[in-house]
């Protein structure tokens, strides 16, 4: 089975993610605010070291150097190589010497005279007040602009969340021999997990669970495409041999998806054809384990077979299998958002704990059983990925 990347392990160690995403045409307002704020160091040094006696040009030079130094820090942390960061850190140890050499050069080159102390202090204080006020203006302008952008994005995410609920509502289906329940909870407002069930004209039903690699808006968009493609491909499923329905569906999806996605994205898929005669056919594409509760024997088993996912590599043909069930049996599929929830020590929730919850509640209504599984996983560890579950019961 292909194990997907855990997105929380890929998070940057710093909190500069937002600023890396802000284009320079918007970031310059913040850079101006930072430059002005740190440029007061020139006046501060003048008051502290020389009691206001430095020539105004020398004070301005120190201020410009200090402001630019602060701006470079932001640029390095957000847009430049970490190698430049090492050079910048080393440079800080020589800032005092650089300032001293720069001031001496300016004074001697321009033949400047020292400023009377009282006049210099008054000038430095005025510069500090004006510069801090100007810095405040730019900070407020940046916050207002980014606040407007954040509000717009929040509205778009709210709209996307509404679309998500439309595309992936809780699924309830009952046919001749089976009842089906599925539910999905995204880790963000928009998730990439999909659970769906479709009646066929001949009385059979299709139930499937899919998981797009990653989560968020991009995964949600691909999830919507996959649902549309799957439902379209299933329009003629009732006319096809039951054992070929799902392999043909996977072949079609694997052909279509590469044309509508980013190269690194893919989907896992677990599908079942539930026959009106009680037969179950299934097909997998990098599926999580399929758990089977055998009611007559009061025990659980699971199938964990190696497969390739959809949309990542060419596959000659997907295979289908038959699953033997008896009245009262349960079939449960949970995405890795449940199975890979980890506690503080890093141990994952796993298949065995899921089996324990099923064994303790095999006769519960399917929505109640799904709720207990989700509650157990969330009590075990924090949700970092979309959590989706599909449950089938043989009537």
Q: What confidence category does residue 7 fall into, taking pLDDT thresholds of 50, 70 and 90?
A: very low
Q: Are residues 197 and 219 in the same domain?
A: yes
Q: Residue 12, SS3?
A: coil
Position 148 in a domain: yes
Please tell me whether residues 238 and 116 are part of one structural domain: no
Asked if residue 216 and residue 279 are part of one domain, the reply reads yes
115 domain-assigned: yes
Same domain, 94 and 230: no
Listed residues 125, 155, 185: the one ending a domain:
155
The CATH code of the domain that includes 360 is 3.60.40.10
What's the confidence (pLDDT) of residue 144?
A: 87
User: How confident is the model over 247-258, as pLDDT tens digits?
Assistant: 999 999 999 998
Residue-wise pLDDT for 282-328, tens only, equals 999 998 999 999 999 999 999 988 888 999 888 888 999 999 999 99
Specify if 126 maps to a domain: yes
Lowest pLDDT segment from 38-47, 187-196, 297-306: 187-196
Q: 306 with 260, same domain?
A: yes
CA atoms within 13 A on the CB side of 303: 19
d(CA 339, CA 189): 21
Phi, psi angle pair for 52, to nearest 5°: 85, 15
Instruction: Kindly report which listed range (80-84, 104-108, 372-376) carries the lowest average pLDDT score.
Output: 80-84
Q: Which of 211, 385, 392 is nearest to 285 (CA)?
A: 211
CA distance 106 to 248: 79
The H or E element containing residue 274 is: strand 267-274
CB-based contact 338:289 (threshold 8 Å): no
| DSSP character at residue 342 | B
Select from 105, 124, 155 the last residue of a domain: 155
Asked if pLDDT for residue 8 goes beyond 90, the answer is: no
User: In total, how many domains does the chain have?
Assistant: 2
Domain containing 218: what range? 168-394
Do 200 and 104 sit in the same domain of this protein?
no
Whether 75 maps to a domain, the answer reads yes
Distance between CA atoms of residues 232 and 238, nearest Å:
13
Q: Are residues 226 and 365 in the same domain?
A: yes
State how far the Cα of 1 lies from the Cα of 336, in Å rounded to an integer.
Answer: 12
Q: What is the pLDDT of residues 333-375, one digit of tens each?
A: 999 999 999 999 999 999 999 999 999 999 999 999 999 999 9
Q: Are residues 148 and 271 in the same domain?
A: no
**Which pLDDT value is given to residue 42?**
92
Same domain, 176 and 118: no
pLDDT of 239 higher than 90: no
Of 129, 155, 181, which one is at a domain's C-terminal end? 155
238 and 291 inside one domain: yes
Tell me, what DSSP letter sits at residue 51? T
Give the integer Cα–Cα distance in Å for 148 and 77.
Answer: 24
In a domain, 136, yes or no: yes
350 domain-assigned: yes
**Does residue 118 belong to any structural domain of this protein?**
yes
Asked if residue 160 is part of any domain, the answer here is no
Among the listed residues 134, 51, 70, the one whose alpha carbon sits nearest the alpha carbon of residue 59: 51
Q: Are residues 91 and 192 in the same domain?
A: no
Whether residues 195 and 337 fall in one domain: yes
């Amino acid at each position: 089975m292909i194990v997907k990347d855990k997105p929380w392990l890929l998070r940057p160690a710093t909190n500069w993610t937002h600023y890396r995403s802000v284009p320079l045409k918007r970031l310059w307002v913040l850079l101006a605010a930072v430059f002005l704020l740190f440029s007061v160091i020139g006046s501060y040094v003048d008051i502290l070291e020389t009691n206001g006696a430095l020539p105004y040009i020398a004070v301005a030079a120190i201020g410009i150097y200090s402001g630019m130094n602060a701006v470079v820090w932001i640029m390095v942390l957000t847009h430049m190589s970490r190698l430049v960061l090492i050079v910048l850190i080393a440079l800080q140890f020589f800032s005092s010497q650089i300032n001293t050499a720069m001031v001496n050069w300016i004074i001697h080159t321009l033949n400047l005279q020292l400023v009377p102390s009282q006049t210099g202090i008054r000038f430095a204080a005025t510069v500090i007040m004006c510069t801090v006020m100007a810095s405040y203006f730019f900070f407020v302008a940046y916050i207002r602009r980014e606040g407007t952008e954040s509000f717009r994005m929040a509205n778009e995410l709210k709209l996307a969340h509404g679309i998500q609920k439309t595309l992936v509502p809780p699924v309830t289906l009952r046919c001749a021999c089976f009842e089906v329940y599925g539910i999905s909870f995204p880790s963000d407002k928009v998730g990439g997990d999909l659970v769906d069930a479709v009646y066929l004209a001949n009385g059979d039903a299709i139930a499937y669970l899919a998981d797009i690699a990653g989560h968020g808006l991009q995964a949600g968009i691909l999830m919507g495409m996959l649902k549309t493609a799957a439902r379209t491909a299933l329009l003629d499923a009732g006319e096809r041999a039951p054992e070929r329905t799902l392999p043909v569906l996977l072949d079609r999806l694997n052909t279509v998806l590469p044309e509508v996605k980013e190269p690194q994205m893919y989907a896992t898929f677990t599908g079942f054809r539930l026959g009106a005669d009680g037969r179950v056919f299934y097909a997998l594409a990098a599926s999580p384990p399929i758990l089977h509760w055998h009611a007559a024997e009061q025990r659980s088993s699971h199938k964990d077979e190696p497969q390739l996912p959809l949309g990542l590599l060419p596959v000659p043909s997907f295979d289908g299998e038959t699953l033997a069930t008896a009245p009262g049996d349960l079939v449960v599929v949970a995405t890795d958002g449940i199975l890979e929830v980890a506690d503080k020590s890093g141990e994952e929730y796993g298949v065995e704990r899921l089996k324990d919850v099923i064994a303790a509640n095999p006769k519960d209504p399917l929505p109640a059983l799904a709720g207990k599984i989700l509650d157990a996983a969330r009590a075990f560890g924090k949700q970092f990925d979309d959590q989706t579950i599909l449950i089938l019961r043989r009537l």
